Structure 1
Amino acid sequence: MNQRNRLRATLLAFVLTAGTGLAALQQEARATEIKVVVNDQAVTSYDIARRSAFLKLQRRSGNVRQIATDELIEEALKRSAVEQAGYRIPDSQVDAAYANFASTNKLSISQLTQILHQAGVTPRHFKEFIRLQIGWSQVVGAQSRGSGNLMSEQEVVAKMLEQGGNKPTSTEYTLQQVIFVVPQSRKGDLKRRRTEANNMRGRVNGCDGTIDLAKQLRDVTVRDLGRVLELRLPERWKKDIAGLRSGQTTRVQDTENGVEFIIVCEARSVSDDRVAQLEFSTKDLEESGGDRGAKLLEELRKNARIERR
């Protein structure tokens, strides 16, 4: 099961518990105590009771309370890794995932929020869970990309022969990044900065005049990202950039830096040995992504301070 489906299944389990165990959870919350400490992060009896209910709903067998405790310890380890890597998942990305989950399950956002309140699980709790899953996915992805394990020339040739000798084709983008800077202490400015960014997008028709446009505005940074193959596009922007033509821009996104969008200076189709190597190596990394996540989690566990009380 991929990361998105795991997230959906877990959140759906939360939703289905609505109204069924609220009294028990409230009682547990009043009597909560710390059961485990993982790298200074506390796992409480209330956390364990809530996760146990999810596991029972999924008809998990065995010592459910122990399984719940183990899962929460794993989440604490993942959270430490996300924080250490410096990943900050913006609220806009979390809110979009929250809204998408509601829509997928034929609920409005207000209906989902109401169900969560009735279940004794706040929307904030759900969103923080989503934030962790996104962050962990980025940590594992960065580990995979940073490993540098590209296929050898012989392996690439073997893969090509399996496909009839044809080299794969990819799109190469020349990109420019526009950042409307918003300091962490001034997040109330995000709405105004989004409007400014969208106004600038409407005036953009390629990358040549971007710097001149930015000079007319306050606290706007332009970065030339160079040439990037579609296979190497940043995960956050991949869906927005894929399919764009020269001169087009992505939608505006809130990020840890403020408000951003990407301009496609040039998009061209390429097919060479480098593309073949990246294409086959990327597919191989994706297929082994679950193993990499498990190995990374095991390393985190070995180096962690875990105190059971």
Structure 2
Amino acid sequence: MTNTLRNRFLGLAALAICTTIVAAPASAQQVVARVNGDPITAVDLAQRLRLLQVSGGGKAATRQAALDELIEQELKLQTARRYKIEVSEAEINQQLASIASRVGGDIAAFGRQLQGAGLSLSSFKRKIQADIAWNGIVRGKFQSRLQVRERDVTDAIRAKGQNDGTAYTFTLRPVLLVVPNGSNPAVYESRKREAEGLRARFQSCDEGLQLARGLRDVVVREQLTRSSADVGAKQREILESTAVGKLTPPDITSSGIELFAVCNKVAGKGSVAETDMRQQMMGERISDEGKKYLRELRRQSSIQIL
């Protein structure tokens, strides 16, 4: 199995682990802590310990570290209820679709993957709901402290010696050569060669996508629009270097071999460095204010470790 495929599977495992098992036995529902009366169960604790272990590169996490995360999660949910913040199903699904795309599928496929592992999609959605609500709480409560001035962005870019690359908006069509779950590495390599053959013949989106649809077990997904700021540095470099009407190099995912047809590329205002730095600085400020607010909530709350 290639390193890329292994990393994709680990990513899926990490996402799945943080959900709750659908039908755990009653004994496993033992309460290990209460936050203002709301319970944290032994199942919650075991799942969070495993999640921390996976995200920590295999290093075992402490029980206290897992409990701290779960306590803070409960405080976030309780605060959202107190402020009467409601997160719509559309918002949850949008975030879920983003997560699913990173592991090579859509919401339905991701849900089947979770269900096949005996995990609950609804509990995963609840976690997303808490994260979205908390982000809104922090942004609203500490709005004046989160402002990022243009001068701060410029100074930070200069301090890091970054280049002001052009920001683009990409119009993409994902193309997936399906590989059944459980297939051995040789099947993936064979499909990857097919993808390279398609890439060599792909000359435009109009004709190339029709060509792709005529191949065995190939799915052409709906059009996506992504900006340079929406993607990581590696994928941004790939998209910027791929000509309009061409396919990106094939990538191994948990669902098969994926390529992206670059159907349009439009230069935007500002630069990649400015956009990235502004988002980074905003994210750091939101994180800092959120941590301080959580410490305050913990001091004011009734927390029992059983």
TM-score normalised by structure 1 residue count? 0.48
TM score, norm. by length of structure 2: 0.48
